[in-house]
Structure 1
Amino acid sequence: MINIRFYGELKKYNNNIPFASLKKEKKIMISDIMNIFKRPLKECHLILLNGDSVYPAIELNDNDFVSFFPKFKNIDISPIQILNLSGLIDTHSHLDEFENISETLKIAKEFGVDKIVGVGSDYNSNLKLIDLIKKDFPLKIFIALGIHPNNLNSDIEKGIEIIKENIDKIIGIGECGLDYKYKGFNKDLQKDVFSRQIEIAREYKKPIIVHSRGAWEDCFDMLSSFDVEKANFHWFSGDIDILKRIIDRGFFISATPALKFSKPHKDAIKFAPLERILVETDSPVKYFERPSEPKDVIITIKHLSILKDEPVDKVIEITNKNAKEFFGF
């Protein structure tokens, strides 16, 4: 049984829902409860799960107690959790990998996301992103095109050409870089493809989105040797020494929902000044055993707020300013 309680003007929806009747092929989340009662998330400013403030994307278990609160007119609950947000920016999502992109973006908008940067990883994903920006969606989609270091078995030449051919349609180059995590990688090939994309970024004055897992120093050295002006070390989890050089160089790093469980990522984000941090999801990568979506940028923001001991509104204000500075939108 899931125990549901709505408060204030929402209280008429109070009910208990048999957990077994909900659990079919997928795990049940709090947002599913709102859908059952046909209540938009914007009506709710606070959700408690067994007494703790949570976000709507969290999964439910049998015997959970969920409380929904409407807008508090005279009480500032921002130190706890505000759900009715707007103007959020997800600076890194692989939008080409979503099966139902219209529904994904509709939900993101309901959660307060206004802008998303769709990031390419190879020739085919770049093609899909180019097609995506021709369509109408309830929020603004920007795209960056690139070749990921783990996708070098695809047609590299076509991948490079499509970036150049569509340079006026994109706001950045990426996701590109180096990845030394897995055995058997070709370091020389990775560096060659990365350097070609750095050259494009420099020639056309585009910011570059860098994948640097296990290769943080080499990525930094290559960017510096090409005198790149704008770079973001996506999902940075490297050591503090190289992070100091990244920050001193004026580059950005980005935070993800992995702040909740990754100590290296958390340590890096804690050290970096908020003015050098972008927020993202890297969706649809899995966190907490489920695929993420652009709406989950609120998870990043929530944990960044806690880590920096700053109000959610201030975190949004500063990271939005950072995103606009980096991408120029």
Structure 2
Amino acid sequence: MSRRLIDAHIHLDMYEDGERIVLLDKLEESSVDALVTVSNNLASSNRQLELAGLDNRIKPAIGYHPEQALPAEEELQAILNVIDQNSHRLTAIGEVGLPYYTRQEQPDLEVEPYIEVLEQFIRKAKGYELPIVLHAVYEDAALVCDLLESYSIEKAHFHWFKGEDTILKRILANGYVVSVTPDVTYKVKVQHIVDQTPLSQLMVETDGPWPFEGHFSGKVTHPSMMHKSIQTIAEIKHLNIDEVYRKIYATTRNFYRIE
């Protein structure tokens, strides 16, 4: 049985050039077929498209990461224009969402302007029938569900989801998907999320170059780390590991329409 993988969420442009070259060179020996590469801002969005033009395993998503200052109107409009001009090349809209962690540090930060920005990306996802990749954790996930439901969005990916069971149940009831990083191998809360989520709505990711602990401490994050994630998922669900590989690969490939 082939044990192939797709990294459902990675910031490929944030790696150093040498690290990125090594990462791409080792994909085949690591049985990784594709990378869904998300964007942080306008420069990042353009870079994802440039990288995708050089390697067809790179599947670009365009968006604006919410854990930063709001984009200037000129930058936001430029990103939206990039989406319009390249919609046929895109795998998804993302990474977009709400600034949960920033608000923990800045409690007075107004969330409404971020909601307005997110809505513009939701409208693009709806208009181009593209999946949307979301940074929406804890109580923010419920607010984002409200928005997605109001636009009748069918394909939403809550990456590295963290939150209460009630929110997770709502996400799953809507047919949306969640993904886990290599921290599933050592974090009990993430393992609980896996236990609650059917394989048909579960994907694996690295969120690289974000670093991890445990077995991965001190290592540059690489998609090959997802093999240990799959092993842990199989153990949590008491399933044959080949079945887990097959179903998660199929879920990711179908969700992102990766050929």
TM-score, normalised relative to structure 1: 0.70
Aligned to 2:12: 95
Aligned to 2:34: 115
> Is this contact kept in 2: 1:87–1:115, CA < 8 A?
no
Give the share of equivalent positions with the same residue, in percent: 29
Local SS of the residue matching 1:209: strand
How far apart are the structure 2 equivalents of 1:203 and 1:123? 20
Q: Does 1:192 align with 2:130?
A: no
Larger Rg, first or second structure (1 or 2): 1
Aligned to 2:25: 106
Aligned to 1:322: 251
> Is this contact kept in 2: 1:95–1:118, CA < 8 A?
yes
**Residue type at the aligned position of 2:164:** D
**Residue type at the aligned position of 1:194:** L
Q: Does 1:210 align with 2:134?
A: yes
**Residue type at the aligned position of 1:143:** P
Q: Cα gap change, 1:102/1:86 in structure 2, threshold over 3 Å: closer, same or farther?
A: farther
Matches within 5 A, 1:56-205: 86-99=3-16, 100=18, 101-136=20-55, 140-154=57-71, 155-181=75-101, 182-184=104-106, 185-205=109-129
Query: Which structure carries more strand by proportion?
Result: 1
How far apart are the structure 2 equivalents of 1:191 and 1:263? 31
Aligned residues: 244
- How big is each residue's C-alpha offset from its partner over 1:230-280, in whole Å with a ceiling of 9 and x where there is no partner? 001111111110111111111111121111233332211211111110111
Aligned to 1:293: 222
How far apart are the structure 1 equivalents of 2:150 and 2:189? 27
Which ranges in structure 1 are unaligned for 5 or more consecutive residues?
1-77, 79-84
How far apart are the structure 2 equivalents of 1:157 and 1:263? 41
Deviation at 1:91, TM superposition (A): 0.9
> Is this contact kept in 2: 1:232–1:251, CA < 8 A?
yes
Q: Does 1:258 align with 2:183?
A: yes
- How big is each residue's C-alpha offset from its partner over 1:13-35, in whole Å with a ceiling of 9 and x where there is no partner? xxxxxxxxxxxxxxxxxxxxxxx
> Is this contact kept in 2: 1:252–1:278, CA < 8 A?
yes
How far apart are the structure 2 equivalents of 1:109 and 1:122? 29
Which ranges in structure 2 are unaligned for 5 or more consecutive residues?
none
How far apart are the structure 2 equivalents of 1:161 and 1:88? 32
Deviation at 1:175, TM superposition (A): 0.7
Deviation at 1:163, TM superposition (A): 2.1
Higher relative contact order (CA closer than 8 Å, sequence separation 6+): 2
Local SS of the residue matching 1:143: strand
Moved over 6 A (4+): none
Q: Cα gap change, 1:213/1:179 in structure 2, threshold over 3 Å: closer, same or farther?
A: farther
